[in-house]
A and B are shown apart, each in its own frame.
Chain A
Amino acid sequence: GAVVSQHPSRVICKSGTSVKIECRSLDFQATTMFWYRQFPKQSLMLMATSNEGSKATYEQGVEKDKFLINHASLTLSTLTVTSAHPEDSSFYICSARTGTSYEQFFGPGTRLTVL
């Protein structure tokens, strides 16, 4: 149980384009989903927290107009990187938790490369 999927696993795009990443909880309902970014040899950095049906809460320094998060259902959250630039190249990982536990279950991650 507690499986989280992400799609795509890897994406390469040109500078200025937008990229959408999907995060799905496959066998449980995720009341809360988290989006992280991880640069090489660095720790996970929380970008935002999203609760189903409400606006995401962004961490300080994360541009909400650049990183659009939608959590329309209890099993799906999307992150859209708008007008991507090379400095946005990173490993993006989502996680999900139910309302009854503190544990977060991670998706396999999406490696974004912006040329």
Chain B
Amino acid sequence: QKEVEQNSGPLSVPEGAIASLNCTYSDRGSQSFFWYRQYSGKSPELIMFIYSNGDKEDGRFTAQLNKASQYVSLLIRDSQPSDSATYLCAVNPISGGYQKVTFGIGTKLQVIP
């Protein structure tokens, strides 16, 4: 079982719709969860992080965390063509002894104008 699992997509949504990106993780003791956006040929940029169960909203983005289900998601409201990118879920596992982060393969999002 992979430590961090994501559907590679592509996920296609029409402009203005809500895009829902999902991620599951295997280490139940994981403490920190991150969503990064990566445009083709570029390095990742941090969109949001979440530490506690529940929802965290920042503008058009909402991160949702359910530790009991080992599930974290990212909702993008009013999707724009500029949101088209690969979204990487990253998890800070409790194991390892240092603050490394494990990345999922990423979900490619396509927002159709």
Contact = CB atoms under 8 A, between A and B. Distances in A.
Interface stretch (B38-46, B62-70, B75-83): B38-46
Given A43-B105, A103-B49, A49 B100 contact: yes
Interface residues on chain A, size class: 10 to 19
Nearest to A45: B103
Contacts of A102: 31-32, 34, 49, 51, 92, 99, 101
Interface stretch (A14-22, A74-82, A105-113): A105-113
Nearest to B103: A44
B100 A46 contact: yes
B43 A106 contact: yes
A34 B100 contact: yes
User: Which of B90, B100, B106 has most chain A Cβ within 10 Å?
Assistant: B100
B45 A106 contact: yes
Nearest to B106: A43
Given A43-B103, A46-B101, A46-B103, 9 more contacts: A32-B98, A46-B100, A102-B32, A102-B34, A102-B92, A102-B101, A103-B49, A106-B44, A106-B46
22 contacts: A42-B105, A43-B88, A43-B104, A43-B106, A46-B102, A46-B103, A51-B98, A93-B43, A97-B99, A102-B34, A102-B51, A102-B92, A103-B46, A103-B49, A104-B34, A104-B101, A105-B46, A106-B36, A106-B43, A106-B45, A109-B42, A109-B43
